[in-house]
Structure 1
Amino acid sequence: MRGAGGSDGGEFNFLIGLVMMVAGGYLLLSNIVIRPIFGMGTRAFGMGGYDVTTGMILIPFMFGVAMVFYNGRSKIGWGLAIGSVIALVVGVISNLTLQFSNLSAFDLLVILVLLFGGIGLFLRSLRG
């Protein structure tokens, strides 16, 4: 019977490393706060040196929806509607701000030791 990663032994290091990695990753990701900076009239993204706002994205969306309701087989209408929704989603995602929540230095050190210590143990268990 071979151990973790086909090496001799290492099952204990593998399990402890995996648990530490998962715990450190969870604690790191759960302490990140996502704040959207998005609203009507806010720049969604730039195109050709011009700012494209969310209102500008909704105008072709409205025309596309009207064309689809008038003729369900309208490729231009479907293209406008789907393209506008994709542009809106891209604009929302590109305007997110990721920040750490208030952490003490001890909390951050514990998270980093769990995460990177777990990665080290995990990789050591896979070594031959």
Structure 2
Amino acid sequence: MKGSGGTDGGVGLFFFGLLMVIGGIYFFFDSVRVTTGHAGILSGAMGGGGGRGRMIDTTSMGILFVPFFIGVFSLFVDARRKWAWWLTYIGLAFLAVEILSRIRFIVDTKLTHLLAMFVLIAAGCALIFRSYREQRRFTKPDDSRE
């Protein structure tokens, strides 16, 4: 029977490796916590840094909506204005950058569990790659030579 990559055998090895990789990735993603609330790139730059160069939260987040608001207003007045479309896109880009820059990922797991996840992923990938090689059949030694 032809298996992975057209070689003999290796189908079981491939699927076992795939199962290990999927399990390791699932356990890794299951241990990641997502939080927000820190200063974003744009709002942190607007809020100053207290003189130490670090970003702080600011209450001036509304300023990021101004380009978007003006762009949408202008589009409802006359949708043929190219600058209004560009201003709307730029306003959306500002908002997207601010939202994405506020997201923080925290891996909340024990070191032993993290190592087990990495072993599952690495070993699974190795089994998948190994399944593409020709599989040798292990046979009993021939007793007739004695």
Please report the TM-score for the alignment, with normalisation by the length of structure 2. 0.71
Superposition pairs of residues 1-128 of structure 1, within 5 angstroms: 1-37=1-37, 42-45=39-42, 51-52=45-46, 54-101=61-108, 103-128=109-134
Letter in 2 for 1:25: I
Higher strand share: 1
Counterparts of 1:100 and 1:117 in 2: how far apart (Å)? 21
Unaligned runs of 5+ in 1: none
**Helix, strand or coil at the partner of 2:33:** strand
**Helix, strand or coil at the partner of 1:121:** helix
- Is contact 1:44–1:92 with CA below 8 Å preserved after alignment? no
Counterparts of 1:121 and 1:36 in 2: how far apart (Å)? 38
**Helix, strand or coil at the partner of 1:99:** strand
User: Could you list the per-position Cα deviations for residues 69-126 of structure 1 after superposition, in whole angstroms to 9, with x for gaps in the alignment?
Assistant: 111222111211121112211221123211112x233322332222111111111112
Letter in 2 for 1:17: G
Counterparts of 1:121 and 1:20 in 2: how far apart (Å)? 9
Q: Which has the larger radius of gyration?
A: 2
- Is contact 1:18–1:122 with CA below 8 Å preserved after alignment? yes
Counterparts of 2:95 and 2:15 in 1: how far apart (Å)? 43
Query: Percent same amino acid at aligned positions?
Result: 29
Aligned-CA RMSD value = 2.2
Counterparts of 2:106 and 2:79 in 1: how far apart (Å)? 44
Letter in 2 for 1:19: L
Please name the residue that 2:49 is paired with: none
Unaligned runs of 5+ in 2: 47-59, 135-146
* Matched pairs, number: 121
Counterparts of 1:80 and 1:99 in 2: how far apart (Å)? 35
